[in-house]
Chain A
């Protein structure tokens, strides 16, 4: 008797509590799984600033389902193992959307973890929004329905860079492809070679070198000189980019560099006048659409304390896409149905200061305008407290920047 009474009481309690929970929709939880400590933290913290900024905007606009969106922060400790752990933690704390961007190695882990979670937990899916992992395979062989990339990739970066430099008449006939020997560098090199016929230049030589190990680039600079190159196209980042440019300037070499990551904070400050006259293709420049952009720049600064640079604008724009998708989704009894959000996000477009950005349904790669820019003293906004900054040379519209869907992407759609 005693037990039955107890059991009946418990069931009644559970019913009451369940009803109470249903009456109020659960707030949407978004988890940022970024590198927030250790040597790679500087980039991770930029993603965090940008995500916090735009989530603030989403909440100012009413949040989701009448509740403010909650941001959970997880430190992936810089590697895939920590990321796998934090993705699980995020999901068990009720996150419906996972954000990450600072490393393709981590992105590869997160996208697979999300895919497997969704396979095993049908009806309780989560979304992964890749804010900056630019490796081609993330929208190629590893593409899946719940992964969305809001940053450009190697193909977009290289082709827009070459187009912009070509139209500005600074590309020259002889191009040298100098890249780091791993998947990213290989992607950049392949795309450079593939564009040569279209734009009518010759790739005089291709070099793949060790990643972040070389201290002296002068032998490589000599090869550039011997090959008679007008332009060096490189996907190098961090030290490999700085040391290469410095070695070229030290040898008095008269070539232009076309790069992907020259705007990383610290690069211009470190390179100084060596960086002047080199090129970059990125999804943002503060001098494009001056009125709207200046308002965005100042607003961002008033919230975070600094002007947006490097990955921050792209991250904000990616979050705008998410915001646009959230506006299309009706909250259900237990908060957000991630499958609905995926449908909305596939067709989402957002108006950014740089123009309209959109998500492509076929491989979930964002289609966004790219700006080819040159390092110059004439820039309105200076980088790293130097007298240099980035001057836009050519704005490439989202439609022109678009690159074909990779054949390796076989996306399985639900239903």
Chain B
């Protein structure tokens, strides 16, 4: 029996530039930590090898320091690590692989296998044959796995395909189709298992064909990232036993919430997360709120913003809908009311280029008024 740990898309060196510096650093560090957990898991489960199906690195120019950190984290598993160049770290001239291999050699790591040529890699004394389809540029266009069909491997060896790209007809249309992989490749190439990378969510997408996804989520789409696959194969032609194992530290969640007149429901949504300190939540709000609710919403967001690791509120579709009550709170009469009415009219007029500004202005007036009132008391 052969036991493999299949992972992919580590994206080491991903910058996270849209986060503030502190969070960016934490998110970057998390990716190294994920490698450490993978190594520990592989050791714990007695894996025979770790297959990394592409995009271990976010870019070919990733710094040597980062490579060393990866090697540090990998030290927990002494068995073979097979790395496939993906679209982010394609085996182009001057790719990260040359440096990575050199650093590993310098450190005396002999368990690193760069799968940068389309030829079988025989491991475990010939019991395991890995057929890699390395990318030598970002977008190959052609199916690099076609050579698997005719690849000769020792008769007793388990045949494992290792590829990076989009399995045809299986992934959502949104998936990057720059590197297509034939839908039936596992069957046509008589593979016991086809380990795929590129799609960041874990998905057993076809027979004997699995996307392990990224072990540490790096974006919001809810496609179940944060796992690795532990695959057991008893021998050539035997059905693999595939286990999905969570390894993520951070949870990236995206929610949409419609608020109509009342912001109170949001509290429950935010409170539903078990570990907000390890959660990145992208909350898209829509609907409309009276100003007082809007103000209370902001208070809620302020509170939870500090509790979540990161709370990204997208309120472009959430509109202020000041009602009479709001306006009465602003003032009984006088020019203020007239001004607010003017702003309301402009806010409600989609043709007015300042309608958005008018909406915010009303909210400002409201907030300021409340503030002034509070001062008076």
Q: Do A and B bind each other?
A: no
A interface residues (Cβ-Cβ under 8 A, vs B)? none
B interface residues (Cβ-Cβ under 8 A, vs A)? none
